[in-house]
Structure 1
Amino acid sequence: MSTTNSSDATSGFLGQPPNNLDDYYIVRGIFRYYGLYNVNASLGYVPAYATPAVFSHDSKQPAIIAGMVIVIAVIVASTATRLALRALKPMLHFGWDDWTVLLASCIAITYPVYQIVMATSGGGGLHTWDVTYNQFEMFWYYGTVSQLTYYVSVGLIKISITLFIRRLIDRSHSRWYALAADVFLATLVIYVLLAIFWSVFSCADQPRASFSLRYTGALDTPPVCGNVFARAWTMSVVHVVQQVILLASPIVILWTVRMDKYKKARLFAIWIAGAVSVLGGLLRQTQSSSEYASDIMWNYTSILVWTSLDLCMGLVTANLPVMDAFLFGSWVSTKTTYGAGGMSSGAAGQDLEYGKASRATTGPPTNRSLVGRDEEGDRNSSTENIIRVEHEVELSYMPADSHDDSSSGSPVRMCSISSRGKSRGRKSGDR
């Protein structure tokens, strides 16, 4: 073996003999990964495809970095807007779905960061013949870590959306719907735990070998590892199936909920954004392994595009129901400022959109029994725009036979009267 122990020696390029001991260990780690335990690593790792006689030295690295910056911006902007609405609107409360999506965003943002490191230090976006063994080691390590963060992130995003739907089911449907949601939620938790343990302990006797080719090649005895391709295929397919189920569930629920048709159309549009996420997950499966392996460092970017789309649109879909109140609340408030027998301020109109009482509303008192039921249902929940609509429509079906403005009001007028009654009926300190 013609290698040197000096770490100062320049790393050899893929397809060439190793230039130092680290190169040798990396080459042997690659062979062990493919189950080739008796191949002479001192000859180097030669890809199965032939390097073209005339080849270019192109680079996708600037495009990768720019794309990942956009991904980071989308993740931060959508999640920050959601949390800001929760914090700045006193009538809104944080719920488990908010904390879950915050955790998902914190983990998801590491994915584009790892991809930037893979491009700048691991040779990602270059042709394979332009990548050294040391760069390939970096590419392998951060690629494995980013795969784990992707599975955990999308799992947490789906958990957050399911928690939101679960609360909607509590308000509108039978216990069988709630039971189905709980079972599905359990499968999502299992998915996240499976992703963590299957990735970390893929090599049961040497967990570190799952992430480092150099470490794998330096071991005296080859580690015992599971089938990485089977793991990736299983996790991806299960993820897509769960996405389809999660996308179909709110469509069925919203179809039966009584609410304003324009609001229902907006909520259906939100789930169309979820369909884009499902599309990204499906298209990740379409690239053939032969096309991917023909020039792995160059061709992996097509998978990167669909993975990033899946991650971004999943988070946007989880955050849009909360942002819907922010985007359309001002428009709705202009229609809710006038109540039966009195007028409410602009702030009161905003409060109605978020389902809480306004102290600025004036007018005659209303039925306290309805108000008490509404307040009890909203006291400890993470109030969402999609849930509030149900109560607006439910109150609008109060008996009103006359079409005169003084005796029958729009759904918004009925909500305005209820808001005042709820405000007066609250005890000090109630939220």
Structure 2
Amino acid sequence: MSSTQGSAPAETRAGQIYALIGAVLPLCIIAVSLRFYSRLKYTHIGVDDILCLLATVLFICLTVATFLAISFGMGSHIGDVRPENGIKMEKCGFTSQLLYPPLLGLVKVSILMFLNRILPTVHSWKTPLKCLAAFVALAETAFFFTLIFQCQPIHAYWDRAMPGRKCINQPAFYYVDAVFNIVFDLVIIIIPSVIFRNLNLPKKQKYGVIALCSVGIFTLVSSVIRLPYLLNLNQSDDPTWAVVNIVLWSNAEASSAIILSCIPTMKPIYVSIRQRYWPQTSSTNGNNRKPQSSNTSKYWRSFAAPASVTDKTEGAAQYRQVDEYSMDSRPGVGAK
């Protein structure tokens, strides 16, 4: 007998979504909490931190919308979804679509602002980073409003039986959105490598840059994998079942971007713990460290562990370390 007759529970993929979100959501909250703990204890809150926090709030909202959609039938076969729940599920899906572009946009801009923050006050990359951040913000805003008005009237999105319903070519829009994300994931991969390529840093001290690059790598892979699911969703005879693949990869992409973007900010916590519980090891590593060039030292001090404020004069400029992630450039002593 079929599940619709009540003899057996309906088949569902909801467990896959619960398992993924149950794993990544706590990790996101922990990562952002540690980020803010590090900032408050060792330095100060910056624009990049606020943007990351806002992205996390949107991710929590996305999770709520996803769970509500599951309660209305998402993850089940379309034949097992009650007709009265169909519109409710579509409204949850519409909400999720609206949350996704600003979520990813906030993470991308946060990463760009982080890179801008760790550079000296005067640096050739600061203006390009700000311009890229502004472009990402404008593009994601455009995607957001396009999604709001993708159907005319707006409620025609979830009321598919409405007479005279008009909607944009959704597969084409998803393709444009995905290509945009792929391109900027590549940009985020490349930029840190370009900025830090001339620095002769010890291997362990490059983990922060690697973490930033890995954000772009994973989101790039996720976007590529998610694209065919997006394009084929409208052609599926069982969309409430097929959409789970999109939900899984979308949540994995967003959560990993948040978590990995927080990793570089946790270095002071790691170093503080190492110095507290393994002080001899830290001292030995410091004594055995090879001297770095002045150029390398200047940049890497922006990733340094918590330390007393120090001054370093280099030619006509003096760089004062105001915290472990930012540098303040001011005229050197005796500079004219």
TM class by shorter chain equals 0.7 to 0.9
What is the distance in 1 between the residues matched to 2:191 and 2:44? 24
For residues 273 and 230 of structure 1, the distance between their equivalents in structure 2, rounded to whole angstroms, comes to 26
Q: Select the residue among 68, 83, 86 that pairs with 1:136.
A: 86
Normalised by the length of structure 2, the TM-score is: 0.78
SS at match of 1:231: helix
Question: Conserved in 1, the CA contact under 8 Å of 2:211 and 2:261?
Answer: no
* C-alpha distance in 1 between matches for 2:286 and 2:17: 54
Rounded Cα–Cα distance in structure 1 between residues aligned with 2:206 and 2:198: 11
8 A Cα contact 1:124 1:297, kept in partner:
yes
Farther off after superposition, 227-236 or 290-299:
290-299
> How has the CA–CA distance of structure 1 residues 109 and 356 changed in structure 2, closer, same or farther, with 3 Å as cutoff?
farther
1:273–1:313 contact (8 Å) kept in structure 2: yes
Query: Which AA in structure 2 matches 1:319?
Result: C
Q: Tell me the equivalent position of 1:69.
A: 22
Q: Which residue number in structure 1 is paired with residue 107 of structure 2? A: 157
Tell me what 1:213 maps to: 159
2:60 alignment partner AA: I
- Map of 2:68 onto structure 1: 117
Aligned to 2:232: 289
3-state DSSP of counterpart to 1:126: coil
Instruction: Determine if contact 2:211/2:264 at 8 Å carries over to the other structure.
Output: no
3-state secondary structure, aligned to 2:318: helix
Letter in 1 for 2:241: W
Change (3 A) 1:368 1:259: closer
**Partners in 2 of 1:299 and 1:325 — Cα distance?**
43
Deviations 1:77-120 (Å, cap 9, x if unpaired)? Answer: 11111112222x1x311111011111111112111211111111
Q: Report the counterpart of residue 294 of structure 2 in structure 1.
A: none
> Structure 1 residues 323 and 189 mapped into 2: Cα distance closer, same or farther (>3 Å)?
same
The counterpart of 1:374, out of the listed 301, 306, 319, is 319
Q: Specify the alignment match of 2:128 in structure 1.
A: 180
Which one has a larger percent helix, Structure 1 or Structure 2?
A: 2
Answering whether residue 12 of structure 2 is matched by residue 59 of structure 1, we say yes
Q: Select which of 146, 156, 169 maps to 1:198.
A: 146
SS of 1:109's equivalent in the other structure is helix
* Matched residue, 2:179: 237
SS of 1:374's partner is strand
Answer yes or no: is the 8 Å Cα contact 2:181–2:220 preserved in 1.
Answer: no
Bigger strand fraction: 2
CA RMSD of aligned residues (A): 3.3
Of 91, 106, 114, which aligns to 2:57? 106
Distance in 1 between the 2:81 and 2:286 partners? 70
Pair 253,339 (structure 1): closer, same or farther in 2 beyond 3 Å: closer
Query: How many aligned positions are there?
Result: 300
Match of 1:303 among 227, 246, 261: 246
| Aligned residue number for residue 168 of structure 1 | 118
SS of residue matched to 1:93: coil
Over residues 143-164 of structure 1, what are the superposed CA-to-partner deviations in whole Å (9 max), with x where a residue is unaligned? Answer: 1110111111001000000001
Aligned to 1:222: 164
Moved over 4 A (4+): 336-340, 367-370
Q: Does the Cα contact within 8 Å between 1:274 and 1:317 map onto a contact in 2?
A: no
Q: CA deviation at 1:180?
A: 2.4
> Shift of the alpha carbon at 1:238?
0.7
2:159 aligned partner, one-letter code: L
Q: CA deviation at 1:339?
A: 9.7
Q: Among 175, 198, 210, which residue is 1:268 paired with?
A: 210
Provide the rounded CA distance (Å) in 1 between the counterparts of 2:151 and 2:10: 36
Quick one: which amino acid aligns to residue 150 of structure 1?
Y
Residues 133 and 170 of structure 1: CA distance in aligned 2, closer, same or farther (over 3 Å): farther
1:96 corresponds to which letter in structure 2? Answer: V
CA contact (8 A) 1:162 1:181 kept: yes
- Using the TM superposition, give the Cα deviation of residue 181 of structure 1 relative to its aligned residue in structure 2, in angstroms: 1.7
Which SS does the other structure have where 1:256 is aligned? Answer: coil
3-state secondary structure, aligned to 2:236 = helix
**SS of 2:110 mapped into structure 1:** helix
Instruction: Give the secondary-structure state (helix, strand or coil) at the position aligned to 2:168.
Output: coil
Please say if residues 35 and 266 of structure 2, whose CA atoms lie closer than 8 Å, have aligned partners that are also in contact: yes
Name the structure 1 match of 2:306: 354
